[in-house]
Amino acid sequence: MSIRLEGINKYFGQFQALKDISLDIPDGQLTGLLGPSGSGKTTLLRIIAGLETAEQGRILFHDQDVTALHVRERRVGFVFQHYALFRHMTVAQNIAFGLEVLPRAERPAAAQIRRQVADLLDMVQLAHLGKRYPSQLSGGQKQRIALARALAMQPQILLLDEPFGALDAKVRKDLRRWLRALHDELHFTSVFVTHDQEEALELSDRVVVMSAGKIEQVDHPQALYAEPESRFVFDFLGHVNVLDGTLRDQRVVQGEAWVTLPGDLHCAGEVQLYLRPHEVRLQDCPAGHAHLPLQIESISLIGAEVRLELTPCGWQAQEPWEVGISHVEFNRWQPQRGDRCYAVPDVGHLFDVQRSHPRTLSWVDG
Ligand code: ADP
Ligand code: MG
């Protein structure tokens, strides 16, 4: 079931929480709504569900206008951050609840409900917990039960609002993978809210980045990361190293730092060169196209690569630079805190005052 939002505006009193949101959510995809706290993600999700109404705009499911339909008639499944399981009911009773309260004409027979609950418990891999109460479950288990309960109604649209937000990192990661696999198996249309970039990029087919009630960019994770269209998206999707400088004769200069840009740019003035941690190499002497002296401030050995935090020498940056190097390279080079080195960009992104979109630059041949 595809979802189409057209010109959605939502106010809370004087405050405009959503500003002219139009969005197509394709059938069968897992779409991530990503943005900082307060950007309007939950409000948008509640409007799709029918739990909240917009002052302006239309919502279509497939090609049916559901704008005026009550939440019950929209038949969407909803999972919140806080489990919201009924405490006085067992796990099986929780899952069966939505079916039990259906009007008699629609309600499956008792034996049928029992079968469906058993199937759902299997699906969320908690068949052995049907008789337990929510208080006897871990956070991750509760969220899987909440999902089973939402799926009991056989929704074609599943809405999840930071469903793993309250869980610890390891459990989150497992549940993410598990949700992705379940989505691929069942083929519903899912919209997933998160403020965690990694979670959005790992889990989603497409990511909608929101900021202050507006959509900043909609793209596939890879495209979003490789070609952010605005400074906001750039900054929000992980650390970025910035050289603020003046561009003249193909060269960005600030203090002792300079970088010669590839190609013919035909622009001049104040610019920012954005470089992701993996787009920069470190070496003990400057390269032909870049002079970016840095001093190593800290070294973090945890993770797949070694992360170095560096501060500029003879120029300035608002935030320290970060560069990742492989453990193999680290062992060969053996850098120490306080050592001086030079950053060499391979790829970069240039913002200037004339354009809101950055230009992507490459110093690597081919
Ligand atoms: P997010 O989920 O991205 O953190 P929300 O959609 O919850 O953001 O909120 C967006 C903005 O709308 C916030 O500034 C929030 O304070 C405001 N807001 C949300 N719900 C209400 C409400 N019921 N009444 C007043 N303001 C609200
Ligand atoms: Mg929210």
Helix spans in 67-218 (H): 71-74, 91-100, 110-123, 139-151, 169-186, 197-203
Eight-class DSSP state of 108: P
**Which of 15, 44, 211 has most ligand 1 atoms within 8 Å of its beta carbon, as the pocket-test mutant?**
15
Task: Calculate helix-pair angle for 139-151, 91-100, nearest 10 degrees.
Answer: 20
SS percent in the chain: helix, strand, coil, step 5: 30, 35, 35
Q: How far is CA 245 from CA 107, 153, 230, 313, 350, in A?
A: 68, 57, 18, 15, 11
* CA–centroid distance, residue 42 to ligand 2 (Å): 4
Question: 10 Å Cβ neighbour count for 70?
Answer: 8
Looking at all shown ligands, the one closest to residue 34's CA atom is 1
Asked whether the beta carbons of 166 and 81 are under 8 A apart, the reply is yes
Q: How many angstroms separate the alpha carbon of residue 17 from the centre of ligand 1?
A: 6
Q: What is the pTM of this model?
A: 0.86
CA–CA separation, 354 and 366 (whole Å): 28
Ligand at shortest distance from the CA of 46 = 1
Other C-beta atoms lying within 10 Å of the C-beta of residue 89: 14
DSSP tag of 287: B
Residue 272: name the closest of 300, 306, 244 by CA.
244
Q: How far is the CA of 306 from the centre of ligand 2 (A)?
A: 33
**Residue carrying the six token digits 């200037």:** 352
What is the pLDDT, as a whole number, of residue 168? 82
Of 12, 18, 82, the one to substitute when testing ligand 1's pocket (max ligand atoms within 8 A of C-beta) is 12
How far is the CA of 332 from the CAs of 166, 198, 252, in angstroms? 41, 30, 32
Q: What is the pLDDT of residue 218?
A: 97
Helices in the chain by DSSP H: which ranges? Answer: 41-49, 71-74, 91-100, 110-123, 139-151, 169-186, 197-203, 221-226, 231-236, 327-333
Give the mean pLDDT per block of 10 residues along the chain (366 residues). 97 97 96 96 96 96 94 88 85 93 90 92 89 92 90 90 84 86 88 93 96 97 89 91 94 97 85 93 93 97 93 97 94 95 95 83 82
Protein residues with CB under 6 Å of any ligand 1 atom: 12, 15, 17, 35, 37-43
Ligand 2 (ion): residues with CB under 5 Å are 42
User: Which residues are paired to 343 by β-bridges?
Assistant: 282
| Residue with CA at minimum distance from ligand 1 atom 24 | 12
Tokens linked to 210: 């929101």
